[in-house]
């Protein structure tokens, strides 16, 4: 299952982080659908019913758009089917946060969007999962390994890409500033060298209130059996799309038919993880501590791994000032020491505040 995620990049960073190459070989930066950038709010602790960044084909909104053009949209987590008859989507009596890949063709809620080609990619820094042990539940933060650098391969037209971006490299390189300004026509000349976003396969639908009103776009995260590296934590995991080609095929509902697209939904042993504080258990808690590594024995910060080093390097060096600290550091039941930690100026806190870096316009 997948019941909690984190997506902490600002809206313009999300756009740069999921740039892609079109059929002509040009790198493109997807733009946000009108008004949707303002609907998205970065968060260390996103729960169902919140708005998340979703990548999908522009042809869902404009039938005349190029076949390979992608767009970003803000959608609510928890699919509301187009045929739902109530005036209030909260009256749905069953959960649609996750969709089991094995049951997609058996349930009308998911089969209809799939047949219509309403496939999307949910973007996140990573997701949280809880390992049950007797009466306790230990949360983990799960994400793409970051030691390999960016999510894009080195290309001849970008010779400045750091050597640490080579596949299977264990070198941890701090993110470097790339040229993020769009050229005429929307091409992004610089490759993203920051946090590699997790790309999860999903289905979306558009529901309009029976009495009329603004359409509501919602999505469900597709899940598969857990990979060997994650099965000790939980028996399910999101269906991960690893690499630009898998993302492209999942979104290309014109050339890649539904049954062929379903073949992409496999358990992939490509993720890494670390234990985090139980602070994340409460969805109202939205602070950097939610994803900071902890030692399960001492509850102190553990010896960093290659991926966590990359995460800390990225967090401390590349944050726009538009990321403002959430008002909530924790629940009322937290101890005073916990509140003090929440106000501390640790590495993750600096990433959140980004006092020394100004945001770039989308």
How many of the other CB atoms lie within 10 Å of CB of 156?
5
Contact present, 191 and 244 (Cβ < 8 Å): no
How many of the other CB atoms lie within 10 Å of CB of 184?
5
114/254 Cα distance (integer angstroms): 12
Verify whether residue 214 is a known catalytic residue.
no
Residue 123's DSSP bridge partners are 199
Task: Give Cβ neighbours of residue 101 (< 8 Å, ≥ 6 apart).
Answer: 222, 223, 224, 239, 262, 265
Residue 293's DSSP bridge partners are 276
Verify whether residue 336 is a known catalytic residue.
no
- The CA-atom distances, in angstroms, between 33 and each of 57, 190, 321 are 11, 22, 23
SS3 59: helix
Instruction: For 47-197, list the strands marked E by DSSP.
Output: 51-57, 70-77, 98-100, 119-124, 126-133, 136-143
55/58 Cα distance (integer angstroms): 9
245/248 Cα distance (integer angstroms): 5
203/75 Cα distance (integer angstroms): 11
Catalytic residue among 13, 18, 129, 191: 129
Closest CA to 142 of 205, 37, 231: 231
97/76 Cα distance (integer angstroms): 10
Closest CA to 221 of 234, 198, 203: 203
Helix boundaries (H) for 63-220: 108-115
79/220 Cα distance (integer angstroms): 5
**Residue 190 token pair:** 């610089």
Active centre residues (catalytic): 2, 129
């Amino acid at each position: 299952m997948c019941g909690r995620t984190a997506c902490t990049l600002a809206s313009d960073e999300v756009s740069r982080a999921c740039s892609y190459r079109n059929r002509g070989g040009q790198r493109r930066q997807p733009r946000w659908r009108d008004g949707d950038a303002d609907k998205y709010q970065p968060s260390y602790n996103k729960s169902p019913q919140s708005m998340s960044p979703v990548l999908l084909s522009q042809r869902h909104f404009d039938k005349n758009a190029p076949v390979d053009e992608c767009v970003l949209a803000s959608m609510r987590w928890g699919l509301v089917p187009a045929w739902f008859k109530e005036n209030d989507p909260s009256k749905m009596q069953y959960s649609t946060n996750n969709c089991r890949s094995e049951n997609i063709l058996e349930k009308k809620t998911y089969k209809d969007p799939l047949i219509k080609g309403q496939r999307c990619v949910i973007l996140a820094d990573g997701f949280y999962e809880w390992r049950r042990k007797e009466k306790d539940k230990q949360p983990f933060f799960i994400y793409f390994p970051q030691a390999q650098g960016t999510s894009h391969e080195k290309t001849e037209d970008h010779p400045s890409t750091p050597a640490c971006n080579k596949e299977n490299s264990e070198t941890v390189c701090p993110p470097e500033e790339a040229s993020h300004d769009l050229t005429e026509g929307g091409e992004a000349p610089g490759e993203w060298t920051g946090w590699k976003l997790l790309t999860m396969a999903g289905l979306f639908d558009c529901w309009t209130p029976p009495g009329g009103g603004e359409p509501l776009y919602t999505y469900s995260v597709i899940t598969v059996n857990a990979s060997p590296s994650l099965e000790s934590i939980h028996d399910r995991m999101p269906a991960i799309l690893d690499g630009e080609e898998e993302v492209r095929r999942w979104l290309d509902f014109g050339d890649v038919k539904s049954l062929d697209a379903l073949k992409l939904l496999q358990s992939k042993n490509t993720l890494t993880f670390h234990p985090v504080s139980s602070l994340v258990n409460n969805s109202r808690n939205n602070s950097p501590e939610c994803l900071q590594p902890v030692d399960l024995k001492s509850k102190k910060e553990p010896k960093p791994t290659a991926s966590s080093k990359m995460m800390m390097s990225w967090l401390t060096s590349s944050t726009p000032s538009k990321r403002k600290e959430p008002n909530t550091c924790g629940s009322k039941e937290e101890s005073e020491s916990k509140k003090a930690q929440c106000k501390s100026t640790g590495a993750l806190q600096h990433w959140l505040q980004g006092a020394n870096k100004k945001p770039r316009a989308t």
